[in-house]
A and B are shown apart, each in its own frame.
Chain A
């Protein structure tokens, strides 16, 4: 309260103390806030520049939402009024900026915006400085409004840059004219693309050239401040040149200038030069120029004492890497890795892996590099990296033999990292036969080599090794007995870990019981993986955040032609052949899926798929389960992966229904070209009519869009439509398919009836085709309440006291289609001891009985 009193006093000291107090100790005490705001309002209206200044400072320092509400309308008026003093104008501009940053919605765009732009021409450079900051922030949100500022900014900038050092007097800082203002104007220009008007563009280019020239001149003063200020303007100008990315001559000059800085005495300049060069390397014009400095950068990597500078050097090497210098760069990065800081090792590992894969002309080199990587920094080699190696090795036949040999030799080293054992185990399991001819790597030796590492490994690795052993049994019958002995040993069969025990037991049985043919089919070589986005890139992006060099990479990749050349399609293509490995996920009903080791090791492969969706034809994993869940209920989440969540809400009446599909973007990046399509087979289309409105093709990060589907049941149907969603995320093409749970029972209308009616109708439907009976094992616990709820959810009416046996469930209802109505009666008899059910369904149409029986049997 005292503070408010002080504020309202007319004496300067008291007011000053009052404001100081408010700035430091304000909190959301509503009473005081109102009084404070009142006092400030008075001061703002007072026309006394000192008081106005104090008030504005206070608002800027506190900048709370209540203040914004109170003053956001006033301040722009003060800003553009003709009679405000310059110092007050400055404060007003920055105050408005502060309020805009905290509450952008409360600052309305009005006609003051054009006046603000004119402030750029003001005499008083302080006002210009403040106005430039304000316009820069506002222009980022409303570029259209402030377009006129570009030309004004350019002219102002050129006036400053070409002025002699005596012109600006007090604004000259150690012989550099108005450095802060220059930097701010350059920042403002970075908000806009290069100016279209050729005159303006010409002036800007001249200006930038002058700045670059000045950098070459001998310094006017020995002081470090002079060079810092000069270089600050220079670096900002270079940022602008990079941002515009349109004038090759400027870019090349900038690159040359930065190259000089790379060897400067001052560490600060070297650091900044490395950073700016990273950005330059992304531009196509200057990429080559950047490459010429590779030796300097490598030298910096080796000799810099400051770790942050070394880190920048690594980033730059990654950015400037392309086919010609890939091998050299990767070799350098590997050698750096041996001595690198632990905190940045993982990032370097990911980068090396990506570079090695992208620029590998000869895949043997790639395999070598990755194995080296594992050897040097095994702990930091994340799962995605070695999954990727395996993917590549399996996909390329020519390198399989080489990989097997190299891995075999690497495993012979006395101290192997566990990741190496994993990779080795997998590769030898698949391709050990390629080197089995050589007596030094005979199957028995291979087996002993792997087994010697067995006890040193963790559980997942051991699980992998067990899979490898059973593959050996298939490949090399001569070692079958040895392996069986191992599997039979107590440490496996009675192992404390469930996974290992299960595998040992199953594999042992498999090897003893199965004939060689079946064994061969089950353990056949893994088919090639479909091409998809490297999950390593996704991981790197996640680590570094969205706006980094990797994004530049993506843009670069998309702009230029396929980097790898060669027959292999670019990783981001979605038009891949339907992968047979989808069968692994147990969706297809096809008998012995040729690629299937037992489901537990399918876990390995699911992880490979987990970062990316499936190809066009096969359905997303888990789609079947989700589908089954939706038979008896209408709302819920249909599908979820890392990027997208699909929710459903549906309602049905007689033969019509409406379904709301909600697509939620789980990431912070927009989805572009978002197109969901409903795919129905021809039969289905005849029996089920679906109408949907198109959806907005852009889905913002974190946003949810809704799609309405109108459904009409023409006649009974058995299949379900498939919802296929395609969109672009980041630079990749995503494709998801899920079954849409529109089933026949949705059009089921419950009918209540008395016991005699029920039995009467039951007898009427005694034709054998009209009845379908199914006896099946209960999948879920047999709880009466839950069962009742499911039957009701299915759409049927639950009839009490109809069946003489009270444990049985009886239901009745009518299926509504456009053409007919089909009465249905059902009876579910549970057998608790046997944990089984007998379900009998009688309707007037055979296909309906069949389908309803199928659907309902899955529920229990």
Chain B
């Protein structure tokens, strides 16, 4: 996969993950063009389209468009399923995910994506394993936060 973009129906970019090195200007240009092209498609149209020399696979979930760019030899249907799997992961993690969840917890969305896809290829297809890894990371985070909190109390005198 070359890149994955998530954007709303108004064209606002919610998440972008690039698996190829491109300059900032190029990224912006591609994003703009692609968003326009995808938003112009009618609902019953095919989920695949050819754009520049890449294949674009997109699917709309409620108000968000999930858009992936794959190379010529990649399998389009499996990419559709990659998108669906990612949505399922988000759903499981956030519990009935909606766009707001992604907006407010974007770093978690990136972490989940990293556990699922790496370098543009599918890393782990088991939902259980991915979510387990994320939960472990969360636990570690909480632990260190608790240590922080307790540390900050040590220095204070109890207020009588």
Interface of A toward B, CB cutoff 8 Å: 11-14, 16, 20, 50, 53, 57, 60-61, 63-64, 87, 90-91, 94-95, 97-98, 101-102, 125-126, 129-130, 133, 170-171, 173, 178-181, 183-184, 187, 225, 228-229, 231-232, 235-236, 239, 267-268, 271-272, 305-306, 308-309, 545
B91 within 8 A of A: no
A-chain residues with CB within 8 Å of residue B137 when the two chains form the complex: 12, 16, 50
Contact with A along B127-142 (1 / 0, CB 8 A): 1110001001100110
**Nearest-CB residue, chain A, relative to B118:** A94
Q: Which of A13, A126, A228, A232 contacts B125 (CB 8 A)?
A: A126
A-chain residues with CB within 8 Å of residue B77 when the two chains form the complex: 228-229, 231-232, 235, 268, 272
Tell me the smallest distance from the CB of A831 to a CB of chain B, in Å: 63
Q: Which 10 A-B pairs have the closest CB atoms?
A: A232-B77, A98-B119, A94-B118, A232-B78, A133-B121, A12-B140, A126-B124, A170-B126, A94-B119, A267-B46
B-chain residues with CB within 8 Å of residue A63 when the two chains form the complex: 21, 119
A271 B119 Cβ-Cβ under 8 A = no
B46 A309 Cβ-Cβ under 8 A = yes
Given contacts A63-B21, A133-B121, A179-B81, 13 further A-B contacts (CB under 8 A): A50-B136, A64-B21, A87-B129, A94-B121, A97-B119, A125-B126, A130-B124, A179-B78, A187-B73, A228-B84, A232-B75, A268-B80, A305-B44
Distance of A91 Cα from B111 Cα, bound (Å): 13
A102 B133 Cβ-Cβ under 8 A = no
A-chain residues with CB within 8 Å of residue B118 when the two chains form the complex: 57, 60, 90-91, 94-95, 98, 130
Tell me the smallest distance from the CB of A631 to a CB of chain B, in Å: 47
Given contacts A61-B114, A232-B81, A267-B45, contact A90 B141 (CB under 8 A): no
Classify chain B's interface size: 35 or more
B122 within 8 A of A: yes
A-chain residues with CB within 8 Å of residue B126 when the two chains form the complex: 125-126, 170-171
**Nearest-CB residue, chain B, relative to A182:** B78
Given contacts A228-B77, A308-B46, contact A126 B140 (CB under 8 A): no
**Nearest-CB residue, chain A, relative to B53:** A545
B46 A50 Cβ-Cβ under 8 A = no
Tell me the smallest distance from the CB of A93 to a CB of chain B, in Å: 8
Contact with A along B79-104 (1 / 0, CB 8 A): 01110110000000000000000000
A-chain residues with CB within 8 Å of residue B120 when the two chains form the complex: 98
Distance of A63 Cα from B77 Cα, bound (Å): 28
A173 B85 Cβ-Cβ under 8 A = yes
B33 within 8 A of A: no
B-chain residues with CB within 8 Å of residue A171 when the two chains form the complex: 125-126
B-chain residues with CB within 8 Å of residue A90 when the two chains form the complex: 118, 123-124
A225 B125 Cβ-Cβ under 8 A = no
Given contacts A179-B81, A183-B78, A228-B80, contact A129 B123 (CB under 8 A): yes
B-chain residues with CB within 8 Å of residue A94 when the two chains form the complex: 118-119, 121, 123
A272 B50 Cβ-Cβ under 8 A = no
Distance of A481 Cα from B124 Cα, bound (Å): 87
A126 B81 Cβ-Cβ under 8 A = no
B-chain residues with CB within 8 Å of residue A101 when the two chains form the complex: 119
A180 B125 Cβ-Cβ under 8 A = yes
Tell me the smallest distance from the CB of B91 to a CB of chain A, in Å: 13
Distance of A63 Cα from B137 Cα, bound (Å): 23
B48 within 8 A of A: yes
B-chain residues with CB within 8 Å of residue A184 when the two chains form the complex: 122
Distance of A187 Cα from B145 Cα, bound (Å): 45
B81 A11 Cβ-Cβ under 8 A = no
- Kindly identify, within residues 17 to 33 of chain B, every residue whose CB is under 8 Å from any CB belonging to chain A: 19, 21
A-chain residues with CB within 8 Å of residue B141 when the two chains form the complex: 12-13, 16
**Nearest-CB residue, chain B, relative to A190:** B73
B47 within 8 A of A: yes
B133 A87 Cβ-Cβ under 8 A = yes
B-chain residues with CB within 8 Å of residue A87 when the two chains form the complex: 124, 129, 133
Given contacts A170-B127, A170-B128, contact A228 B114 (CB under 8 A): no
B152 within 8 A of A: no
Q: Which of A20, A181, A229, A271 contacts B48 (CB 8 A)?
A: A271
Tell me the smallest distance from the CB of B142 to a CB of chain A, in Å: 9
In the assembled complex, 25 residue pairs joining A and B whose CB atoms fall closer than 8 Å, in A order, are A13-B141, A61-B114, A91-B118, A97-B119, A102-B21, A126-B125, A126-B126, A129-B124, A130-B118, A133-B122, A171-B125, A173-B85, A173-B125, A180-B78, A180-B81, A184-B122, A187-B75, A225-B84, A228-B77, A228-B80, A228-B81, A229-B77, A229-B81, A268-B76, A271-B48
Interface centre among B47, B85, B121, B140 (most CB of A within 10 A): B121
Q: Which of A20, A61, A173, A306 contacts B46 (CB 8 A)?
A: A306
B140 A181 Cβ-Cβ under 8 A = no
B-chain residues with CB within 8 Å of residue A187 when the two chains form the complex: 73, 75
Tell me the smallest distance from the CB of B114 to a CB of chain A, in Å: 5
Distance of A14 Cα from B45 Cα, bound (Å): 46
B-chain residues with CB within 8 Å of residue A13 when the two chains form the complex: 140-141, 144-145
Distance of A306 Cα from B50 Cα, bound (Å): 13
**Nearest-CB residue, chain B, relative to A239:** B75
Tell me the smallest distance from the CB of B159 to a CB of chain A, in Å: 28
Distance of A688 Cα from B76 Cα, bound (Å): 64
A50 B140 Cβ-Cβ under 8 A = yes
**Nearest-CB residue, chain B, relative to A176:** B81
Distance of A545 Cα from B52 Cα, bound (Å): 12
Tell me the smallest distance from the CB of A179 to a CB of chain B, in Å: 6
B-chain residues with CB within 8 Å of residue A91 when the two chains form the complex: 118, 123
Contact with A along B102-117 (1 / 0, CB 8 A): 0000010010001000
Distance of A94 Cα from B119 Cα, bound (Å): 6
A-chain residues with CB within 8 Å of residue B76 when the two chains form the complex: 268, 272
B15 within 8 A of A: no
B-chain residues with CB within 8 Å of residue A236 when the two chains form the complex: 75, 78
B-chain residues with CB within 8 Å of residue A308 when the two chains form the complex: 45-46, 48-50
A130 B48 Cβ-Cβ under 8 A = no
B-chain residues with CB within 8 Å of residue A12 when the two chains form the complex: 137, 140-141, 143-144
Tell me the smallest distance from the CB of B46 to a CB of chain A, in Å: 5
Distance of A181 Cα from B81 Cα, bound (Å): 12
Q: Which of B46, B84, B125, B136 contacts A181 (CB 8 A)?
A: B125
Distance of A267 Cα from B47 Cα, bound (Å): 8
Given contacts A232-B75, A272-B76, contact A97 B121 (CB under 8 A): yes
